[in-house]
């Protein structure tokens, strides 16, 4: 469906909120899912990016976009005065009439446009259940396979390098096979996810990143962990939202590349 007129911001946001169940999915306070900055006019062009930053805001403005859709929004730092870089973000958005829409966990866990489901598809893995419990939801996915862990690691490294990063792994030995895997994108490695993996017989955990101690614990538990990059594992969801907005509203979109290498 393509509408002749450009949609209003509220129309686009309402569609995304329903699709993503923004009001039902719990999240961290800094996520502030939904419209974070509004504007008056219709949405004429959309830019999507993993992070809301000065770099992505400038790139969105340069692309002529007046809606920036992100996974990590403007408010992760908590309540802060509008000074310095925080002021500069807001100033540039308002000066160029660019709205911001953010979706964190609702976008991580969505079965068709979510980071976790899409990363599984990219790695040729088929999920059959949820993984990584958070309050009332599961953020990640899990499933069965019969694949050399080395070749799964190669797929992850290829994907990471396409997005400016590289794979870091533990527990990947030459003849090892992955039979039960789990994915949790972003900062998905923690003592909690490792415990959950261990308790449910998962032998390979694919994440974005995690603290050092998770690598130590994983070796003790006999779990291979593929740290594929926080950024690289979370580029899929916002791209899918760009496609969704174009498909439903006929608004052109572009992906803003801003890799951190992490």
Tell the smallest beta-carbon distance from residue 250 to Zn ion (Å). 29
Residue 189's SS3 state is coil
Kindly state whether residue 114 participates in binding Zn ion, applying the rule CB under 5 A: no
Nearest in space to 140 (alpha carbons), one of 126, 148, 130: 130
Q: Is 113 helix (H, G, I), strand (E, B) or coil?
A: coil
Least distance to Zn ion, CB of residue 151, Å: 26
What is the C-alpha to C-alpha distance for residues 64 and 45, in angstroms, rounded to an integer? 7
Helix (H) or strand (E) holding 212: helix 212-221
Q: How far is the CB of 72 from Zn ion (least distance, A)?
A: 6
Nearer to Zn ion by C-beta: 30 or 143?
Answer: 30
Rounded to 5 degrees, what angle do the CA atoms 242, 248, 253 make? Answer: 30
Among 7, 34, 127, 186, the residue binding Zn ion under the rule CB under 5 A is 186
CB of 230 to Zn ion, least distance (A): 6
- For Zn ion, the closer CB: 106 or 171: 106
Is the Cβ–Cβ distance between 186 and 234 less than 8 Å?
Answer: yes
Residue number with CB closer to Zn ion (103 or 204)? 103
Q: Quick one: tokens of 52?
A: 């809301």
Closer to Zn ion by CB, 251 or 256: give it.
Answer: 256
Rounded CA-CA distance 10/105 in Å is 21
**Spatial distance between the Cα atoms of 79 and 30, rounded to a whole number of angstroms:** 9
Q: Give whichever of 30 and 42 is closer to Zn ion, judged by the CB atom.
A: 30
Determine the Cα–Cα distance for residues 87 and 207; give it in Å rounded to an integer: 33
Place of tokens 């939904």: 34
Instruction: Candidates 28-36, 56-64, 126-134, 180-188: pick the segment binding Zn ion (CB under 5 A).
Output: 180-188
Stretch near Zn ion under the rule CB under 5 A, chosen from 26-34, 41-49, 51-59, 179-187: 179-187
* In the complex, minimum distance from the CB of residue 259 to Zn ion, in angstroms, rounded to a whole number: 13
Task: Using alpha carbons, select from 32, 59, 57, 71 the residue that is nearest to residue 231.
Answer: 71
User: Between residues 250 and 259, which has the closer beta carbon with respect to Zn ion?
Assistant: 259
Identify which of residues 171 and 237 has a Cβ nearer to Zn ion in the complex.
Answer: 237
Which span sits near Zn ion by CB under 5 A: 24-32, 41-49, 95-103, 178-186? 178-186
> Of 257, 189, 246, which is closest to residue 221 (Cα–Cα)?
189
Nearest approach, Cβ of residue 1 and Zn ion (Å): 31
Residues of span 36-95 touching Zn ion by CB under 5 A:
none
Choices 73-81, 183-191, 194-202, 239-247; region in contact with Zn ion by CB under 5 A: 183-191
| Position closest to Zn ion via CB | 186
Q: Which residues pair with 214 in a beta bridge?
A: none
**DSSP string for 126-190:** ---EEEEEETTEEEEEEEEEEEEHHHHHHHHHHHHHHTT---EEES--TT-EEEEEEEE-SS--S
The least distance separating Zn ion from the CB of residue 231, rounded to whole angstroms, comes to: 8
Interface residues with Zn ion (CB under 5 A)?
186
């Amino acid at each position: 469906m393509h509408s002749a007129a450009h949609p209003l911001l509220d129309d686009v946001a309402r569609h995304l909120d329903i699709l993503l169940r923004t009001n039902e999915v719990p999240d961290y306070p800094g996520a502030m899912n939904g419209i974070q900055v509004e504007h008056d006019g219709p949405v004429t062009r959309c830019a999507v990016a993993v992070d809301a930053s000065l770099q992505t805001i400038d790139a969105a403005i340069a692309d002529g976009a007046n809606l920036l859709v992100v996974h990590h929004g403007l408010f992760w730092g908590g309540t802060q005065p509008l000074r310095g870089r925080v002021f500069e973000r807001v100033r540039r958005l308002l000066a160029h009439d660019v709205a911001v829409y953010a979706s964190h966990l609702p976008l991580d866990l969505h079965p068709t446009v979510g980071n976790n489901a899409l990363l599984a598809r990219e790695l040729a893995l088929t999920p059959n259940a949820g993984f990584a419990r958070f309050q009332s939801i599961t953020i990640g996915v899990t499933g069965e396979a019969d694949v050399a862990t080395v070749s799964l690691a190669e797929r992850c490294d290829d994907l990471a390098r396409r997005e400016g990063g590289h794979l870091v792994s533990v527990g990947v030995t030459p003849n090892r096979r992955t039979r039960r895997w789990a994915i949790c994108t972003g900062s998905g490695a923690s003592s909690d996810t490792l415990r959950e993996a261990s308790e449910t017989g998962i032998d390979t955990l694919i994440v974005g990143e995690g603290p050092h101690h998770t690598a130590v614990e994983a070796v003790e538990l006999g779990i291979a962990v593929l740290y594929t990059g926080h950024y690289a594992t979370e580029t899929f969801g916002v791209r899918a939202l760009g496609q969704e907005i174009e498909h439903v509203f006929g608004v052109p979109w572009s992906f803003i590349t801003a890799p951190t290498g992490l």
